[in-house]
Amino acid sequence: MKKISKGLFLSIAIALIATLLGNVFPIIGSAVFAIIIGLLLNNTIGTPADFQPGIKFSSKKILQASIVLLGFSLSIQDIQSTGLSSLSVTLITIVIAFISAFLIGKWLHIPMNTTTLIGVGTAICGGSAIAAVSPIIDAKDEEVALSISTIFLFNIVAVFLFPFIGHLMNLTDSGFGLWAGTAINDTSSVVAAGYSYSESAGDYATIVKLTRATLIIPVSLLIAGIQLYKKRRSAEKVSLKQIFPWFILWFIVASVVSSTGILPEVFITSAKWLSRFMIAMALASIGLSANFKELLKTGAKPVLLGLITWFFVAASSLLVQFIQGQL
């Protein structure tokens, strides 16, 4: 606990300030304020090394815990209907992500490992997907770091850009939630963009995103199969324990318990408030992890690959929704 205390307390302090600002300026929201404050702090005065364990803990474990708590305020019926209704859009955008990443990566002469990692990060769930797939394809550390940096850049951009475009297009809460949930890379950024648009959009986007994240299992198995078939290298064994986002299971359990009606209203209200506060903590930590100088070292080609792939995913999500009459 002592190892993570400094970074954890810093994320709590930023979340408190962000929550106060979010109450004053609800159109922006605490999540966006949290990531802005974190970004400004880390890229001006910097963050000491002994704060990093707590910051990393907050950006991963606190975020996962906040999603579980959110489950208490959502009925299992809503989760089921939203997840199923979004599945067609999700599957199409995943296919688009991999096809566009492969073609653009080939055009830009980017190594296959980097192309695969950026593709899977854009298609599924950002850095988590990259971490799951990297041992399967035997990716080098620099390839992993390069891919995560590229994806992280667009996660930050999405938090600010998506709500702005959503309002310009006058998207409904469900329309924006489906768009954000299928087109933004990382869970944290989906949550931030969704709730800055509206509470309903945030709930919808979170469910869609969690549905999308579970697809890391079949995608990882498929990539492992391709690696074995090509015999380029012996693919590492795929462990379900390593690649499955287990917090999603607890999110569903929380929703099932809440749907029984046995929990008092004060518990559900408190869980929802705490969830939103912990989301602000996680996003503050993500802002504290972003170093613009390091991101600039990424290089133009991987960033261009990530940008074009992301554009195709975002555009295809809107197009499929339009064709299906969901916009």
Percentage of the chain beyond pLDDT 90 is: 27
pLDDT of residue 183: 93
Q: Where are the domains of the chain?
A: 75-279+293-323
pLDDT of residue 235: 47
289 vs 320, more confident: 320
Distance from CA of residue 141 to its chain's centroid?
21
The pLDDT of residue 236 is above 70: no
For residues 30 and 278, what is the distance between their CA atoms, to the nearest angstrom?
11
By CB neighbour count within 10 A (0-12 exposed, 13-18 middle, 19+ buried), where does 170 fall? exposed
Give one DSSP letter per residue of 9-38, joined into a string.
HHHHHHHHHHHHHHHHSTTT-HHHHHHHHH
For residues 269 and 21, what is the distance between their CA atoms, to the nearest angstrom?
21
The pLDDT of residue 20 is above 80: yes
83: which 2 tokens? Answer: 């997840």
The pLDDT of residue 78 is above 80: no
pLDDT of residue 169: 93
- Mean of per-residue pLDDT scores for the chain: 84
pLDDT of residue 15: 93
Torsion of CA 113, 116, 120, 121, to 10 degrees: 50
Which residue is listed with tokens 């992500």?
Answer: 97
Which residues are CB-contacts of 193 (< 8 A; sequence separation ≥ 6)?
A: 158, 159, 162, 163, 180, 184, 205
312 vs 80, more confident: 312
Kindly report, residue by residue over 138-165, the tens digit of the pLDDT.
Answer: 777 677 777 877 888 888 889 889 999 9
| φ/ψ of residue 326, rounded to 5 | -95, -5
Kindly report, residue by residue over 165-177, the tens digit of the pLDDT.
Answer: 999 999 999 999 9
Tell me how far CA of residue 142 lies from CA of 134, 145, 299, 312, in angstroms. 11, 5, 12, 26
Q: Are 63 and 187 in contact (CB under 8 A)?
A: yes
User: What is the SS3 assignment for 226?
Assistant: helix
* Confidence class for position 240, pLDDT limits 50, 70, 90: low
Q: Are 194 and 73 in contact (CB under 8 A)?
A: no
The pLDDT of residue 117 is above 80: yes
pLDDT of residue 135: 73
Which residues are CB-contacts of 212 (< 8 A; sequence separation ≥ 6)?
A: 86, 90, 94, 124, 125, 181, 182
